[in-house]
Amino acid sequence: SLAIVDSGGASLTYGALDRGASAVAAALRDCGIGRGDRVGLAAPKTTRAVMALFGILKAGAAYVPVDSAAPVERARRIMADCGVQAVVATAGTLSFVPDTSRLVILLDEAGPRG
């Protein structure tokens, strides 16, 4: 059964949501992200962003949401001020990643890539 349907019509089943979230969590854990770490989430509001959000939580980290329509400098300042150690981004939001982030996971149609 469907877990999520976004405004563009894309959908994820509960199984696909769990698999994708687990992949994001594994990628974060493999790079040392865990309990108490902060992870920026710079992605448009889609099913993939929800998958990433659950993956961040599965890794034991806290997510810092950043509006993908925000100005780049504002987004970078928010993430730097929050001390994010990693960022989950899309190709369109890579410019949001602050210099202090040690890991970027690119969230695209193929799933998370580190």
Give the tens place of pLDDT for each residue, 21-61: 999 999 999 989 999 999 999 998 889 999 999 999 999 99
Quickly count: other Cβ atoms within 10 Å of residue 96's Cβ: 26
Instruction: Output phi, psi for 21, to 5 deg.
Output: -65, -40
Cβ pair 52, 41 in contact under 8 A: yes
Report the pLDDT value the prediction gives residue 7, as an integer from 0 to 100. Answer: 87
- Average pLDDT rounded to a whole number, residues 6-33: 93
Q: Distance (Å, rounded) from C-alpha 106 to C-alpha 113? A: 5
Query: How many angstroms separate the CA atoms of 61 and 84, rounded?
Result: 10
Written as six digits, the tokens of 112 are 């998370």
